[in-house]
Amino acid sequence: MLETKFQIPNTNPVIPLSKPAPPQAKPKAGAAAASFQEVLQKKLDQSWLKFSAHAQKRMAANGINLSESEMAKLTEAVDKVEAKGGRESLILMRDMAFVVSVKNRTVITAINHERLRDNVFTNIDSAVIS
């Protein structure tokens, strides 16, 4: 019987006609790509206000309770100050005053009507009366 041997021809590698897409940057070690849920939650967190521990204590001690509509007004006031470039703002609402860090969207302190009289506010660059 006759044996036939086949040889595989030596060919050059296949070259694509178009340039390949540049490699995408890989996340650094320990850094994960933000999921849609994380991005959404971050945006939602930015639309509402936080209250510092000091503000929470003041509110509890002075009997300050905010309704949803009052929280919405306070948030709207902070949004307005932010749009104007304010950093630390005094927001007067009804018979209450709030000092807010606009950048951090955090209420720093809260004052009721009894303590509002003869009070001096320092380190603020803006005020909102609503």
Residue ranges covered by each domain of the chain: 49-129
**Band of pLDDT at residue 38, cut at 50, 70 and 90:** confident
Cβ-proximal residues to 44 (8 Å cutoff; 6+ apart), any chain: none
The arithmetic mean of pLDDT across residues 12-21, rounded, is 59
Q: What are phi and psi of 107, to 5 degrees?
A: -75, 120
Cβ-proximal residues to 19 (8 Å cutoff; 6+ apart), any chain: none
Q: What is the pLDDT of residue 100?
A: 96
What's the whole-model pTM score? 0.64
Q: What is the pLDDT of residue 10?
A: 61
Cβ-proximal residues to 99 (8 Å cutoff; 6+ apart), any chain: 88, 89, 90, 91, 107, 108, 109, 121, 124
Count of residues for the chain? 130
Nearest of 121, 126, 130, 13 to residue 74 by alpha carbon: 130
Q: What is the pLDDT of residue 108?
A: 96
pLDDT tops 70 at residue 16: no
pLDDT tops 90 at residue 119: no
pLDDT digits (tens, 9 = 90+) for 94-117: 889 999 999 999 999 999 988 888
Report the distance separating Cα 66 and Cα 74, nearest Å: 9
Token reading at 73? 């007004």
